[in-house]
Amino acid sequence: MRKSGWRERENKIKIYAVIDTNVIITALLSGHQDSATVKILDYLYDRTIVPVYNDEILNEYSVVLRRPKFKFSEVTINATLEAIKKGGLRSERISSNENLPDPKDVVFYEVALSVDDSFLVTGNIKHFPKKPFVVTPAEMLQIIHEMKSPKSGILSEPAARYGKKSVFPAGV
């Protein structure tokens, strides 16, 4: 069963997104607090972005974050994984039959499909099908900015803007 992926409660925007491992790695390696990837991680920590994941994704995060070349501390790794689990939404894959250049990326794409109106945020946009819900970190920041705008309305909902559902009633 697909879950709905966009919420606005108590004027707090929540956008559901699968975050590709490269976004997390780049954010943690960055020394620039104003970089798009760091801001994505900040939005994950403040729960504007609700990370969508499954066990395969968590395992990849854990394995890649622990690669010796990155030299991340266990404290950083555990804090990041815990933030994803506590603030996130566990979901399952929906088979897509997509052939992606890297078979390890399929899980990210298919988990994104499992939640209506969710996004897949990646620094490797060319590794995924050209779909409106597959976005770069900079594009995700623009979406969040638009959602927070006082002028946002039904046509500003991620679903309407990025093509996952119709904003018009059935039959219109």
The per-residue pLDDT string of the chain (172 residues; one tens digit each, 9 = 90 and over) reads 444 444 444 447 899 999 999 999 999 999 899 999 999 999 999 999 999 999 999 999 999 999 999 999 999 999 999 999 999 999 999 999 888 999 999 999 999 999 999 999 999 999 999 999 999 999 999 999 988 876 655 545 554 555 554 333 444 4
Place of tokens 């309305």: 153
3-162 architecture in CATH? 3-Layer(aba) Sandwich (3.40)
Question: pLDDT value at position 41?
Answer: 97
Give the integer Cα–Cα distance in Å for 29 and 88.
Answer: 22
Helix (H) or strand (E) holding 142: helix 137-148
Token duo for residue 123: 């620094």
* pTM, to two decimals: 0.83
Dist CA 8 CA 159 (whole Å):
13
CB 120 within 8 A of CB 143: no
